[in-house]
Chain A
Amino acid sequence: MANTVVIGAGLSGLVAAIRLARAGRGVTLLTKGIGGLPLSQGTVDILGYAPDRVETPIQASASMPEAHPYRVLGPAAIAAGVAYVQELLGDRLVGSPERNVLLPTAVGSLRPTCLVPTSMTAGVVTGGIRYVLVGFRQLKDFYPLLCAGNLERQTTPDGQPIHARGIILDMPAVEDMADSNAIGYARSLDNPAYRIKLAAVIKPMLEDGEVVGFPAMVGEHDASAHRHLEQLLDHPVFEVPLPPPGVPGMRLNALLTGLAKEAGVRIVAGARVVTFESDGDRILSVGQATAGRIRQYAADTFVYAPGGFESGALNMDSYGTVTETLFDLPLHGLGPDLITAGEPADQALFRVGVGVDKEMRVVDPAGNAPYSNLYAAGGILAGAIRWSEKSGDGIALASAVTAADSILKGA
């Protein structure tokens, strides 16, 4: 059977693996650990800032600099990537790639994003909306009064008012717990009895027409928890993403990992891929540092989806030399002044990465492929500052689907 090894279990690795396996390929997914999804907000960002706030992300992607992954991919590939994750997750992700929405963050700013989990849709900013934010004395990651105060000070993009107030409950996730975290609450909220108890406390505090914002922890596994809480309160309810661990991202991770297994992907987790063998033109196998030995996995094609600096796939040493740590691939975006005194999150260093052609095959800056069967996807790609642009999810999806399709076409 034709087979592919995918390296990395973030959004891009999981999606590429599922698409290949569903098309009948033998897929082995090698990964050190869980990918970045649990650290995300659980929404799908395509493009939020370019550098001004973006309303129509696919359209705006064409205005990115030439070296940006979106320019290599093109609007059709972005749309295909987004459509695929919607196909995979069905009605759990709502929205259109043609239009961004604004959602309140935990500190009450307004964040542009594109696809939104069902549990967050009620929070989308609209003119005259009246939020009530619910916090817990035992939860240190969410301050409803701060959130509400900041929301009150803003207006919708077309200048309409936003109303918000906060309430603080004294209710631990588990009895007698002094300090509860979002996961603890999410696990308690998986239990209908806890939801009923919680709703009984809140309901008398609500006013007509209010939309109720909870920290994002309305159930870890029980997909019906959100709907149930809305019914109990008889008010629309939405989740506000918190700092990690982020429950909405964990849910996405669990769903996609489950789909990968169902599709027959062999997931081998827990160890880094540390070596590879090649015949000069093709990668023949990669070696994962399993317990006691390096295990070689041979395949005819390889998708490299290891993330960027944040997961150790890219490294900068104390002399300022940047390398890709597994294949020692040629990097794009190198130059002087990679780090300057400017905005810390917007350094040129973060645009350094691996270059690809339209097929997502890895190429050097001159456009030549060092290995004819090596494809790259996601955070490793050069040219984007994903967190400032809010483009990481869209890049991951579009590149994963494109890489998978190139392999399936036998490119």
Chain B
Amino acid sequence: MFEPDTYEHDLLNRASLDHCVKCTICETQCPVAAVTPLFSGPKYVGPQAERFRHGESVDHSLDYCSSCGICTHVCPQGVHIAELNSVARSAMKADHMPLRDQLISRTTLMGMTMTPLAPVANAVLRFKPALVAVEKVVGIHRNAAMPTAHVQTLVGWLRSRTAPKNPAPRGKLIFFHGCAQNYFEVETGIKTIEVLEHLGFEVIVPKQGCCGLPLQSNGIFDTARSWVRKLVAQLREAPQDLTIISCSTSCGGMLKHEANEILGVKDADLLEVGGRMRDVCEFLLEMYDNGDLDTSDWLPNELTVPYHAPCQLRGQNIGTPAVQLLELVPGLTVVESGAYCCGIAGTYGLKKEKYDIAMKVGKPVFDKVVAINEGVAACDSETCRWQIEQATSVPTVHPIAFIHQAMGLSKLPVSTGG
């Protein structure tokens, strides 16, 4: 139950559900409902069940919604189905949040504890008996795609490297690394910074914590709000007229819209930061469209790459900029997965009761990747990359890796993520 006058209360009180015309388009596109009878689909648990909830949930199948947001994306009427479901789930779980959901939600904690111990952590994560124990105790599936911890963080790399001395004719940008790039996807972060510097930008990296997304997607809203507010304040310590670049679809999406639309954080500061946030491929493609990205000296790469546009990217409503961007690399052919979701949906697919569903959701993606790949696949979201790699054994990288390579900053073939 939520107090009156809170955001959740308002949302549960039918902010947008009366727009639903019961066209059922969302039902036909929900990737979870397509693979399991345990979940009745977005319209039923969303605008339909909502009428019976009165602040409390009557329908526990709601927990099977992965929050991928596809329903909201395809609804022609603007019903905030996924947002409604996230809030309702938070209400449903408020009193009995599993330890597991609290644990995997604290990414910085996981990252910080894993980094100094990376070799040990990785060994443990690859050691079956240990994983079986983890599944038993906290409910993370033994085969789940877990991040690889790194010996060095992105912040560590920034500190130890010699920053480029050449002038930055295009001015300054802020890089938002989130936890993903700092702890788990260090190489993607490094490549993004190097690409931007190569283009003539100076990249500023202010001190920054976690955006709180995993907390939010597991329904732990209060803590998520305080984390995202803190992060906004940190990002605003850098000059406030600069564009902010993210190469994590989840972290970027949190600041662009989820903190506002799901957590109900309406602070002017957050909206201001969200408005300056650009996904790196979105940013580069916009440069290209404006005639500011010279691709004439990009190196060819004769390769066919399966590409999966993650649901987190679709939720930003910016199209699939990576597709157009990668096609600017001479010789590179991009084949889209054609599916909406790889199944992981943040931390959904890590949970033991959801793991099988997540693997079924992702099957069309995995099949396509296996059929098309010539040694490497691409996807903008870190959790999806882990999931695709785990399921297919095909190394899966952020699209920026191909741009990095085309600029001659790294060698062929693409090294496998990092």
- Using a CB–CB cutoff of 8 Å, the interface residues on chain A facing chain B are 32-36, 38-39, 174, 176-177, 181, 183, 187, 244-245, 250, 261, 266-272, 288-293, 295, 310-312
Contacts and interface: CB of A to CB of B under 8 A. Distances in A.
Contacts, number: 89
A268 B279 CA distance: 15
A288 B318 CA distance: 9
A261 B307 CA distance: 14
B319 interface: yes
By CB atoms of chain A within 10 A, which of B28, B257, B314, B316 has the most? B28
A269 B78 CA distance: 12
A351 to B, nearest CB: 21
B317 interface: yes
B189 to A, nearest CB: 21
Please provide the 4 A-B residue pairs with the shortest distance between their CB atoms, ordered closest to farther: A292-B256, A33-B76, A268-B319, A270-B317
B98 interface: no
Nearest to A28: B319
Interface of B: 21, 23-25, 27-29, 34, 37, 72-78, 253, 255-257, 271, 274-275, 277, 314-320, 324, 336
B21 to A, nearest CB: 8
Nearest to B273: A292
B93 to A, nearest CB: 25
A79 B170 CA distance: 53
Contacts of B37: 174, 176-177
A269 B25 contact: no
A268 B73 contact: no
Contacts of A292: 255-257, 271, 274-275, 277, 316
Nearest to B285: A266
Contacts of B21: 310
A168 B285 CA distance: 55
A250 B317 contact: no
Given A35-B76, A36-B76, 7 more contacts: A33-B25, A38-B28, A183-B28, A183-B34, A269-B314, A270-B74, A311-B76
Contacts of B315: 270, 291
Given A174-B37, A245-B28, A291-B318, A269 B255 contact: no
B25 A268 contact: no
Contacts of A174: 37
Nearest to A290: B317
B316 A290 contact: yes
B25 to A, nearest CB: 5
B317 A291 contact: yes
Contacts of B324: 266
A266 B319 contact: yes
A255 to B, nearest CB: 13
Nearest to A250: B28
Contact of B27 (A177, A245, A271): A245
A177 B40 CA distance: 11
8 contacts: A38-B25, A187-B34, A245-B27, A270-B73, A270-B316, A288-B317, A291-B318, A311-B76
A269 B319 contact: yes
A272 B253 contact: no
